[in-house]
Amino acid sequence: MQAKIRVGVVGGTGYTGVELLRLLSQHSFVDLVVITSGAEAGIPVGEFFPSLGERVPLRFSPRDSVELGTCDLVFFATPNGVAMRAVPELLAGGCRVIDLAADFRLTDSAVWAQWYGEPHACPELLAEAVYGLPEINRERISSARLVANPGCYPTAVALALLPLVESGVMALDSLIADCKSGYSGAGRQASIGLLAGEISESFKAYAVSGHRHQPEIEQTLRSVSGAATLQMTFVPHLVPMVRGIHATCYGRLIAPAELQTLYEQRYQSEVFVDVLPAGAYPETRHVRGANQCRLAVHQLSDDRVVVLSVIDNLVKGAAGQALQNMNLMFGLPETEGLQQVALVP
């Protein structure tokens, strides 16, 4: 019989945190040992999140809880900059770590400092950290001590473009990713810009001059293409829905290809990526609550292609993908705990 994995969660009170707890509480091989929170220490998890009720019979612990050191695996569902200060000690003690923030996603510490505004606290671990997109790094994830869970936009965009970039049929100097996200992607903190009266019945772009997910997307696409340079225009938008990301990606073909076949063959063994029939239009509501990416590829002319990609930003874009990575790290079926059907309506 498979022994249960002793799991700790650092930062369990945000939207990503509660989604992670929801999924972990349904996982057959997980023993939730400790869930930390700086502000809510001592409060029962089921009181703070009634949706979890008796499924998570723990109280939030302080962030420096010694119980973290007894875990087989610790998830960090914390703001950027938190995990990098605690991970070295956990790794030294024999824990494995999955960071759902951005602390270990970029391989260059100077690039990390440029985009996140401070020096990296443990740059020596950046080369070891494995980027946790299973569709490209499955084997490396399975033996990793430290996994950097991808961002939500990078997951949607990378899965949309991987077949084109890997096969070399698309120009890499003129990529466009036009992305829309529900407001849960901005986190649970109080903010005037995220009040219902500010975002309802409205739709806006943001971070047009540069978003932190852009270097992550470019790094991933460069790694699978082998190219030294790549140019992408990435524009995120906030739309008045709670969950979901829709990425519309544009590119220029430089070689002929049967695109529908290319996508179907690339993802034929990927249980969490659905390639829709030619001419289809994926919708965010069709992946709500599920660890699924749905794709459709449209060829507009001999040299123009549009790829549509949808995910739930809190599941395949965060907590669900983290569980997918955990399953790989502990030799479990990749689908364990992740077989939920999307919520309709």
Catalytic residue among 71, 95, 122, 152: 152
Amino acid at 345: P
Beta bridge partners of 305: 251, 299
Residue 207 CA to residue 345 CA, distance in Å, equals 31
152 is catalytic: yes
What are the contacts of 332-339 at 24+ separation with CB within 8 A? 332/2, 332/29, 334/134, 334/271, 334/272, 335/271, 336/27, 336/28, 336/29, 337/23, 337/24, 337/26, 337/27, 337/28, 337/30, 338/23, 338/272, 338/291
How buried is residue 330: exposed, middle or buried, by Cβ count under 10 Å (0-12/13-18/19+)? middle
Rounded to whole angstroms, how far apart are CA atoms 194 and 200?
9
Among candidates 344, 329, 320, which has minimal Cα distance to 27? 320
Parallel/antiparallel/unpaired status of strands 245-252 and 175-181: antiparallel
- The region that residue 195 occupies, defined by phi over 0 for left and psi between -120 and 50 for alpha, beta otherwise, is beta
How many CB atoms are closer than 10 A to CB 158? Answer: 28
Q: How far lies 83's CA from each of 89, 93, 135, in Å?
A: 11, 15, 24
Task: Report the candidate in 1, 2, 21 with the shortest Cα–Cα distance to residue 10.
Answer: 21
Q: How many Cα neighbours within 13 Å face the side chain of 37?
A: 17
Question: What separation in angstroms does the CA of 285 have from each of 198, 272, 289, 306, 310?
Answer: 23, 16, 9, 20, 9
Helix (H, G, I), strand (E, B) or coil at 8: strand
- Whole-angstrom Cα distance, residue 84 to residue 303? 43
Letter for the amino acid at 332? L
Residues involved in catalysis: 152
